[in-house]
A and B are shown apart, each in its own frame.
Chain A
Amino acid sequence: MRQSNKLSSIPESYYKRRRWAKAAWVYSALLLIATITLGTFLIAFMASLKDNALSEPTNFNFAQVRPSNWVSSMQLGLGGNQAPFFGGFSPGAELTFSVTYAVTNDQTFSIPVIKIPRRRPGTGMAATLTTDFAADYALVSEPKIIERNDNVSYIFKRGIKNESKQGKSVTWQFSIRYLGDGPVIDTVPLDITTPREQVLINSSLDPSRFERRGRVASWVNVSPGVIGYVFRSYVRVWNESVSLETGKSMFLSWTYNSFIIALAKVLLTVFIACSAGYALARMNFSGVRSIFLLMIFSMTIPGQVTFISNYEIFNKLGLLNTPWAVITMLVASGQVLIMKQFFEKFPKELEEAALVDGASPIAILWHVFLPLAKPALASIIILGFQGAWNDFFWPMVVLTSPADIYTLPVGLLSLRNAYGVAGDWSLILAGSFLTTIPVLIVFIIFQKHFTGNNIGTAVKG
């Protein structure tokens, strides 16, 4: 009796609170999924900023994200080449650099040995480039002591363990000058060697890495400029992928090729899809059925089944290794289908009036149907651009040499082959993100068409 009384008197607020809680769970789930989709790119992007994308993969507090390094890289870029953003080392330059070392109270300091090594910047493709070495033009001054501190605590690394220590520190300052006249040099690497017990606790710019069990602090470039420092891998992708014949940045050529090919393909696709889609949908001519079946059949057959014959055709025409081989190899079955299904939805009266007036089917398509087909056109343009931009298999088959002729995805493959062995993942990731930018821009501009319902309804028919 008491039980049923209670049940019948459950207040509305009981259900209301539960609805709120349910919404909270739904939003948490959505946020979690958004974290996975966006977070993957965020961590990869952060890693692309690191000197070595594989070092401490889950640590995202590294030198390139610290504002103190942004300021000093800017100052060093100014000192080296009057270039706060991209840095460099030019005649008349003078870089001032300071390093602070600490030892325990019972130890003595030894003067650090400063050296500008003759080291090739980067790996992979950069190894084949001829470069001027900063070592041939730079003069390093004697380090002089500018500050002493008798009471510092610091961390001494032993293997993967960190030991806290108490001791004293000394700050040395030295300058790197460009002697005489000569070329502008991109990078000024720096190695500073000290005994193992003497620990580097501060420096103008955080070192890129430690070598020989912590004895050598090594900088890849002490005159980077702020962009050259934070986005080093991106600058490297651009600079190091240089064509040996023309000396132009291949990344630029790849981007250009990808754009031209994607645009041309989209134009061709729109032309073919509109005319064929219209004919198949609205004109009951003899042969419609067989063309339609052939079209569906062609959509199920993988591109690998037909590629050898197509390769031979372009080989015979002498069009291999030209953009034409990629642009004209186009069977737009999917897009024709989208347009056909879209055109089928309109009532018959739409063209009948025009037919009575004696308009030709081409005029009807142009004046009556195309203006109505904007949503379907938007989806085939976007899908077409995206498809052409990302196309990998066929460009890889027909674009083989010289490397200037690649599209971006094929270029990425060559970057991966050139740098993957050396484990230079910062650069490969940077390349991946650079290729992404144009599609990202297209996406932001046409966002509604991407995620709106046009594509869905158009495909679904």
Chain B
Amino acid sequence: MSMKTLQRNFYGWLLVLPFVITLVVFFVFALIRTVKYSFTDYDLFSEANFVGINNYINLLTDELFLRATINTISFSLVVTIIQTMLALGLAVLLNSRIKAKSFFRTAFYVPSILSSASVTLIFIWIYQKNGFLNGFISQLSELSSYFVLGLFSLAVVQLVQIAHQRFIGLPTKFFDPLLALISMITTIIVIIIVSKLGLLETTTVKVAVNWLGSRDDFGPMPVTLWAITIQNIYTTVPTIMLLFLAGLQTIPHDLYEAADIDGANKWQQLFHITIPQLAPVTFVVITLGIIGTLQMFDQVALLGTSSPLESRITLAYYVYYQAFSDSGTPNIGASSAAALILGIITLCIVFLQNKFGVKEKS
């Protein structure tokens, strides 16, 4: 080995040492210990006994664990899919040629800077039975007759205008932005006049949906987790949007110019240029999204006893719950086994997405 290689190895390892120490102590060693504990009945205080795969067998028969697994996977998939699409849409919208771009970018980013603890508490308040969301929905449903009127007026005004334009021979499309704008303004004026004259009856509606405390399921997961889904999307979309925005700015302009010449419309450009070109960013976003949502913990802890355990539990919380539940001795064996299963699920989903989902290279 030459002097130069020796020196390079010395400095390389010296520089990387602080990181490697933390990696080995807090990750490798910890992982090995978790594997070891998962085969024992360790409880933090007394000597651990080897119990074979009993912990794993117990988990598979524990209804709470199965519930947590289903909840976690459903939550992760739903949140990742919705937040990626929303963030992409927002980024494309924000990337159009507009003024005050930085104002909107800042306004959209605000939900991401606050701690998940604060935002979760704010949303728990919104979701209370006598809280803002139910109050807001009640008010909206009281005005439902106005919505019907609005939709009706929109359609009529739009149709009349289109008919007129076609009649004079203009090739106007049905969703023409100018005519839609005129229809919208007309409709708003109609609604104001009708409400001033008091022509429409409003009914008193009291909506009292139990967003957080219910034991009901909706689709793949409990209603409570859907409520958390909305909160989670609300906080993570802005960050992802920024990643997409950065990606959008690296797409060469000539691609769009060429498409323009070929006569491709905006939607075709979105699906044939923008989305394929963004594939590397989308890959990162989806992978990080899966990893992040599979370890959802904060919201579950902050919901606390106001929601039933089975409607909010996730694997991450199950791991904590087994180790540090308020009652009973720590069940480190079960906790470790569940933690490993969570790790394996994460690796599997990341692998599957890598194999069959959005790839890094388009």
Residues of A at under 8 Å CB distance from B? 2-3, 6-7, 10, 14, 17-18, 20-27, 29-30, 33-34, 37-38, 40-41, 43-44, 47, 53-54, 56-58, 271-273, 275-276, 278-280, 283-288, 291, 294-295, 298-310, 312-313, 329-333, 336, 360-362, 365, 386, 389-390, 392-393, 396-397, 408-409, 412-413, 416-417, 420, 425, 428-429, 431-433, 435-436, 439-440, 443, 447, 450-451, 453, 455-457, 459-460
- Rounded to whole Å, the gap between the CB of B220 and the closest CB of chain A is 21
- CB atoms of B130 and A40 under 8 A apart: no
**Given that A26-B96, A291-B20 are contacting pairs, would A460 and B117 also be in contact in the complex, using a CB cutoff of 8 Å?**
no
A453/B245 contact (C-beta < 8 A), A29-B93, A57-B131 known: yes
The answer to whether B114 touches A306 (Cβ under 8 A) is: no
Which stretch from B155-163, B165-173, B251-259, B268-276 is at the chain A interface? Answer: B165-173
Please pick, from B94, B105, B118, the residue contacting A433 in the complex, using a CB distance under 8 A.
Answer: B118
B264 CB within 8 Å of chain A: no
Chain A to chain B contacts (Cβ below 8 Å), 26 pairs = A30-B94, A37-B110, A38-B110, A54-B125, A56-B135, A273-B19, A275-B16, A276-B15, A283-B8, A284-B8, A285-B11, A287-B12, A291-B19, A295-B19, A300-B347, A302-B294, A306-B31, A310-B26, A330-B22, A361-B11, A392-B297, A413-B304, A425-B125, A429-B122, A435-B118, A460-B247
**Whole-angstrom CA separation of A429 from B135 in the bound complex:** 18
CB within 8 A of A460: which of B8, B96, B181, B246? B246
A389 to B117, CA, bound (A): 11
Partner of A390, one of B116, B139, B280, B320: B116
* Residue B335 is within 8 A (CB to CB) of chain A in the complex: yes
Alpha-carbon distance A451/B102, docked complex (angstroms): 8
Bound CA span A56–B169, Å: 54
Across the two chains, which residue of chain A brings its CB closest to B347?
A300
Distance (Å) between the CB of A74 and the closest chain B CB? 29
- Decide: A18 near B176, CB < 8 A? Known: A285-B12, A294-B28, A308-B336: yes
Contact in complex: B113, A440 (CB < 8 Å): yes
Q: Does B74 contact A (CB under 8 A)?
A: no
Taken together as a complex, chains A and B put the C-alpha atoms of A275 and B33 apart, in Å, by 28
Cβ contacts under 8 Å, A18 to chain B: 176-178
In the bound assembly, the distance between CA atoms of A432 and B12 in angstroms comes to: 45
Report whether B295 and A412 are in contact in the complex, using a CB–CB cutoff of 8 Å: no
- Interface contact A301-B242, CB-CB below 8 Å: no
* Interface hits, B334-352 → A, CB 8 Å: 335-336, 339-340, 342-343, 346-347, 350
Q: Does B79 contact A (CB under 8 A)?
A: no
Nearest-Cβ distance from residue A424 to partner chain B, whole angstroms: 11
A318 to B117, CA, bound (A): 28
Q: Nearest-CB distance from A451 to chain B (Å)?
A: 5
Residues of A within 8 A of B247 (CB): 456, 460
- A102 to B361 alpha-carbon distance, docked (Å): 77
A393 to chain B, nearest CB (A): 5
Contact of B63 with A by CB under 8 A:
no
Q: Is the CB of A34 within 8 A of B104?
A: yes
For A57, what are the chain B residues with a Cβ–Cβ distance below 8 Å?
130-132, 134-136
Chain B residues lying within 8 Å of A294, measured Cβ to Cβ, are 23, 27-28
Task: Give every chain B residue within 8 A of A443 (Cβ-Cβ).
Answer: 113
The answer to whether A276 and B16 touch across the interface, beta carbons within 8 angstroms, is: yes
Please classify how large the interface on chain B is, using the bins under 10, 10 to 19, 20 to 34, 35 or more: 35 or more
Q: How far is the CA of A457 from the CA of B294 in the complex (A)?
A: 25
Tell me what chain A mostly uses at the interface: helix, strand, loop, or mixed: helix
CB–CB A58/B302 < 8 A = no
Cα–Cα distance between A298 and B29 once the two chains are bound (Å)? 12
What A residues does B343 contact at CB under 8 A? 301-302, 305
The 4 closest A-B pairs by CB, nearest first: A456-B246, A285-B12, A6-B169, A306-B30
On whether the beta carbons of B284 and A305 are closer than 8 Å, the reply is no
Give the interface centre of B31, B113, B280, B319 by most chain A CB atoms within 10 Å: B113
Chain B: which residue is nearest A313 at the CB level?
B25
The answer to whether A460 and B115 touch across the interface, beta carbons within 8 angstroms, is: no
Interchain CA distance A302-B318 in the complex, whole Å? 13
B49 contacts the other chain (CB 8 A) = no
Residues of B within 8 A of A393 (CB): 297-298, 316, 320
* Residues B26 and A306 in contact, CB atoms below 8 Å apart: yes
Q: A14-B170, A331-B26 are in contact. List 14 more A-B contacts (CB 8 A).
A: A10-B170, A20-B178, A24-B177, A40-B111, A275-B19, A285-B9, A300-B346, A332-B19, A413-B302, A428-B121, A429-B125, A431-B121, A439-B114, A447-B106
Residues of A within 8 A of B243 (CB): 455-456, 459-460
Would you call B126 an interface residue if the criterion is a C-beta within 8 Å of the partner chain's C-beta atoms? yes
**B73 at the A interface (CB under 8 A):** no
B291 at the interface (CB under 8 A from A): yes
The answer, yes or no, to whether B90 is at the interface (CB within 8 Å) is yes
The residues of B that contact A271 with a CB separation of less than 8 Å are: 18
- Is B115 within 8 A of A439, CB to CB? yes
Q: Which residue of B lies closest to A268 (CB)?
A: B18
By a CB distance below 8 angstroms, the chain B residues around A360 are: 11
Contacting residues, chain B, for A429 (C-beta < 8 A): 121-122, 125
Pick from B111, B180, B346: contact of A301, CB below 8 A: B346
Question: Given B126, B323, B342, which contacts A302 in the complex, CB threshold below 8 Å?
Answer: B342
A306 in contact with B11 (CB, 8 Å): no
**Across-interface contacts of B114 in A (CB, < 8 A):** 41, 390, 436, 439-440
Q: Is B128 an interface residue (CB 8 A)?
A: yes
Once A58-B132, A304-B320, A305-B339 are accepted as A-B contacts, the answer to whether A37 and B122 lie under 8 Å apart by CB is no
Q: Does B109 contact A (CB under 8 A)?
A: yes
Q: Are B169 and A409 in contact (CB under 8 A)?
A: no
Q: Is B75 part of the binding interface, using a Cβ–Cβ cutoff of 8 Å?
A: no
Are A44 and B90 within 8 A (Cβ)? no
Cβ-closest chain B residue relative to A34: B107
Chain B: minimal CB distance from A282 (Å): 9
Q: Is B98's beta carbon under 8 Å from chain A?
A: yes
Tell whether A302 pairs with B346 under 8 Å between CB atoms, given A279-B12, A308-B34. Answer: yes
Residues of B near A336 (CB, < 8 A) are 19
A33 contacts across to B, CB distance below 8 A: 90, 104, 108
Do A286 and B122 touch (CB < 8 A)? no
Q: Please state if A361 and B15 are interface contacts (CB–CB under 8 Å).
A: yes
CB distance B249 to A298 under 8 Å? no
A408→B115 contact, CB < 8 A:
yes
B27 is contacted by which of A58, A298, A386, A392 (Cβ under 8 Å)? Answer: A298
A-side contacts of B324, CB under 8 Å: 397
Nearest opposing residue in chain A for B281, CB measure: A460
Enumerate chain B residues within 8 angstroms of A331, measured Cβ to Cβ: 22-23, 26-27
B332 contacts A by Cβ under 8 Å: yes
The chain B residue sitting closest to A9, CB to CB, is B169
**CA A103 to CA B317, docked complex, whole Å:** 58
Residue contact B116 to A25, C-beta cutoff 8 Å: no
Q: Which residues of A contact B135 (CB under 8 A)?
A: 56-58
**Given B117, B294, B342, B350, which contacts A432 in the complex, CB threshold below 8 Å?**
B117
- Does B144 belong to the interface (CB within 8 Å)? no
Beta-carbon contact of A396 and B301 below 8 Å: yes
